[in-house]
Amino acid sequence: MSPSFETPPDAAADNWLRRDAGWSAAGWRHGWTTTAGPDFRAAPETAGHRDAMAALGRAAGLPHLAWVHQVHGGDVLRATQPGLAGAADALWTDVPGLGVVGRGADCPLILVGGRRSDGSALWGFAHASWRSTVARVTSTLMSRLLDAGLLDTTARALICPSAGPCCYEVGPEVRQAARRELGEDALAFFAPGGERWRLDLWAANTRQLTDSGVPAAAITVTGHCTICGGDLYPSHRRQGAAAGRFAAFIGGLQL
């Protein structure tokens, strides 16, 4: 699905909050921030992090937000209340008015939403670093949503700005880990680049989504590389320790 981006109607946030027009038209509360917005680099249990979340919630029109301490693994948690839900790299919920939030600075943040047969909505996000991707975090998130009643035919996914296949270089140990954990097909996500490899995390996670039943036409890849795409988003690869963190969120359907 081709992306089309829009800014929110809230004039106070129109410089730092982005949404996908197709998702908005479908009624999903969702979006991601830029470097002009709050910095989410503070530890997830701190007051600084809560302040950043509060600013995001006001701009997004979501009264409550939940997040995790991201650890580059494959664990998925369910959010039943606002605040820090625990240590994991994916979080989902079906609580009306509760948004789930991930943070990143090169790692893909993937938003997923859909409906049950009764029309009720479920939604979540995955923080798909290379380690989390190899640990199948996106597949596991989809499994949790499907177990909770998600109809795969209603599912849609959005891969937010992150390190692209043009720039994301990894060592041979990453390729070996992907081959070991994901199988021979995973080698298709690597392109040679001298002594290192360029890894396409967008394609790798798209595969996990489609293998889980998400229609290919319902997957949007923003296609913005945080490494070479300018300074609109922070990038750990480009800025090192000085890089901040931006956030992506999904909070269910508009009522």
CA 219 to chain centre: 12
* Mean per-residue pLDDT pooled into runs of 10, the chain (255 residues): 47 82 96 97 94 95 96 98 97 97 98 98 98 98 98 98 97 97 97 92 98 98 97 96 96 84
pTM for the complete prediction? 0.94
Cα separation of 83 and 116, whole Å? 25
**All domains of the chain, ordered by start, with CATH?**
5-253 (3.60.140.10)
State residue 194's pLDDT score. Answer: 80
Q: What is the DSSP string of 125-138?
A: EEE--HHHHHTTHH
By the 10 Å C-beta count (0-12 exposed, 13-18 middle, 19+ buried), 188 is classed as exposed
